[in-house]
Structure 1
Amino acid sequence: MNYSTYSADDFIKDEYFQRWVFSPDAETEAFWQSFQAQHPDQQQPLTEARRFLLVFHVKEKDVLESRIGHLKRRIDLALDQPERQEPRPAETRTAPRRTGHWKVYAIAASLSALVACAFLFLWVRSDKNTPDTYTTNAVTQKGQRSLITLKDGTKVWLNTDSRLTYPSSFEGQRVREVTLEGEAFFDVAENKAQPFIVHAAEINVKVLGTAFNVRSYQKDQKVETTLVRGKVNIESTGKQAKAVTLLPNQRVVFEKTSRQLLLENRVNTEKYTAWREGKLIFEDQPLSEIVQALERWYNVTIHVEDTGSLGCRFSANVDNKSLEEVLELFKASENIDYRREGDQVSILGKLCAE
């Protein structure tokens, strides 16, 4: 999300910005304070958007641009246009009174109140049948992880470089629905009357009460679901929709290209969920996948000098180690070298050489 180019209207419609305005927490406060410090040129549109939301209490996910523009034009018009002067006969003129400024402010205040009432009327009419909920985005950057507790008691561990979109409340809804981009572990609060659905890329994971891991990064060619406890249904979307039911210690992989659902039995679930405890477990995986995981985990970019080495397969257990310790392990076992400059890492030499 490139907030540095946002206008006031863009900020008004942004759900993460709305969350900071209406329900600030440590995460949003830290993010927006840091953003303001790094982008002082965005202070004016940001402040304007914040004031607009606080005045009109807008919490709608998709605020109509026509409403925003109309309200802002009406208010700006009241402040910018001078009071109209009607010509008077010469004989009735009196000494000028000092009332111009307060009249402009009075008109602006009255018009603002009138516009607010009109907006509230439109708001109530258009949304009177919808629950008082709004959408929240929980976002982690590379190198960050987060634990989120939803309103229903469901706990979600969000891995690095991920986003979870969910409503502020599930009350009054037939199902509990969230959307995941990235990776997360879900421990879902049981509610048989209200199933829980995770939308991840081109699959839907439907559960009642269970614990499972979903990995769905946009750049990956597959979506993976691993079941630890309970029972889940996995359904692919589109014309060639398919479905499979997962039992504990099973894993299903959805191939984005072939659109196939591949079921694996008796998997080591710790391998796919250990990241919650600060661990990364690799079992006979190509270096290309390991590099991708390390980049997200440590918030760096890794360049492999010998591209042929990306197909080399390795097994490793990274248990709360620093990036330097991991690179030293590769250096000692594969007789290669590495160089790090800030967030840029270069792996030098040829791996898995015979």
Structure 2
Amino acid sequence: MYRIYLLPLAVAIISGTTNTISARSPGPISSTRSPTPRSTAKTSIIGGDIATPGSTPWLVSIRDAQYHPPPHFCGGTILNHYWILTTASCVTSSSINLLVVLGEYNQDEDEGYEKKRTPLLSLIHPNYTYFNMHAYNVALLLVSYFSYGERIQPAPLLPNPGDRGMWQYRDESEEELTRKKFPHRFKDEKWDLEGVEGLIAGWGRMNSDEYSSVVLEANLTILSNDACQSAYPDEDMESLMCATDIVRGGVGACMGDSGGGLISKDGYVLGIYSYAEPCASDEFPGIYVNMSVIQQWMCPIIRHHQPERLFRENIDFRIHSSASSLD
């Protein structure tokens, strides 16, 4: 069971077949450097760097379309030709008029790579509540089909050896071999990601009142569950994890980066940025939704061969917008 937030189709009901999470074959999760080229230019973004144009093709800008021009307020991650991953709080606490911009780098310029889509449907994890806005803080946005390009590419989800439908193992030996490819341990069918390094990118706040017009990025390391629980004793950490820069300190995502994916060296989505208060604090690391906990809910949805069928499911739907999708 999941909640559906319905947005009427403005052009035509989606047709065709969705792609799987990625055409890329599973590879080892690394705890070393980021998966993207890095610029040497430093900025004032809470310790981050200016990203190289096109180096974060999975990243999307989510904007509030009730204003003109629509301002950026959250990030998201491309999963396939139809689905965008973000946080539930980005969907429920903002305007109902959402706009997704793919292929974006510099928000002050039209560089010719951008594609714009109005979400047709948003699905929110059933365990997410307004009373605990960080646990299971995840949403999926369904948009009309878009093609991949130089600056528009999906990011694969973590392999789950227990999900035969996801990877279609031929036999148990192949499943065991896939497990051996990954050096990190499993705990209760979850990845133990402590010590793994990931890249967070976005257009979020650089200081108290200034946002970045270009993509900024930072390399962060996932902390132990105990360290995360110690920093946030009142949070339910079952679906959460924390990440920070353990070398330099004072580095991290901030307002406007929420919904963005924490991406491993090999391109896998490790987590979704949810919250940090104050931003980039050594004492209070950023909180991320742990992807390995929520993928069992997500995978059947994003692998749906006929996304339009989701519109016909009579499950707690709400109308959000009648705006059309844009190319």
TM-score (norm 2): 0.23
Give 1 or 2 for the bigger CA radius of gyration. 1
Question: Which structure has greater helix proportion?
Answer: 1
TM-score (norm 1): 0.22
